[in-house]
Amino acid sequence: MPELPEVEIVKQSLKSAIKYKKLSKVIVKNRNLRFKIPINFERSLKNKVILNISRISKYIIIEFKSNLYCVFHLGMSGTIHLVKKKFDKITNLSFYQYKQVPKKHNHLKFVFPNFNIIYNDPRRFGFFKLFRNYKDLNLYFKKIGPEPFSKEFNSNYLFKKIQNKKKNIKNILLDQSIIAGLGNIYVNEILFYSKINPKKEGSQISKNEIKKIIKYSNIVLKLAIEYGGSSIRDFQNTEGVNGSFQKEFKIYGRKGETCSRNNCKGIITKFFQTNRSTFMCEICQK
């Protein structure tokens, strides 16, 4: 599943492709995604002008004129393809790369004058929702925590959220109600940089360690966006360029290797927390 940096790259890719464009029509071939696409979806978006594309956590928001918003989530296997009619060039905007648009599971087509945006999703865990005013849109996201880059995500905030928790720090950071957008890959990296054991309970995390989590959340995520995301499964941006942050991983996917930290001879181990892979150095992360 794409995490915050990959979704941010998709947002940026879409923004460069469709902002201020008029959406001619939408063709729905399968309404049965995670949430059923409403009957009026196509009619609501027909001939609407796109004002902006933004992101909250792992959701992308397309803002149209007339106070209309389309929110979508890629789920586990959702991909977005830009097909330019004039040059017959196919580009994947999502987390997985295909050399061409798949023949099956193309559930939605967004038709623009010179190109189409196609949504493909074999597992159908992605979804699209419409909101007809900003108030309803805002209510939908009210339970999501602050963005890692926001001023609200600070040491005082995080300390209050975790000081009494028995849950391990890794699962705390994956909780979208506490912080928006973090996923398994980047939490592994953040905890490594912070020298924190992912098994450690929230109540045991010191204020100094909280400052490190805040600091390295910003550093790791900004670097990942700068590198175009992580091509664990061949993520590509709108220009068909692979993300390369996976080459910068310090801990994720490095089971059995020597710790990447200077002067540390620890061996990276792998175990599971709530069915998610965890990687750690038992010497550095105490």
Question: What positions carry a catalytic annotation?
Answer: 2-3, 58, 276
Q: Using an 8 Å Cβ cutoff, are 251 and 190 in contact? A: no
Length of the chain: 286
Task: Return the number of other C-beta atoms located less than 10 Å from residue 153's C-beta.
Answer: 19
Beta-carbon contacts of 4 under 8 Å, excluding residues fewer than 6 positions away, are: 57, 58, 148, 180, 181, 182, 183, 186, 221
Task: Return the number of other C-beta atoms located less than 10 Å from residue 269's C-beta.
Answer: 14
Task: Return the number of other C-beta atoms located less than 10 Å from residue 275's C-beta.
Answer: 6
Long-range contact set of residues 83-90: C-beta below 8 Å, sequence gap at least 24:
83/115, 83/116, 83/117, 83/118, 84/114, 84/115, 85/114, 85/115, 85/116, 86/114
And the tokens for 50?
């796109």
Q: Classify 152 as helix, strand or coil.
A: coil
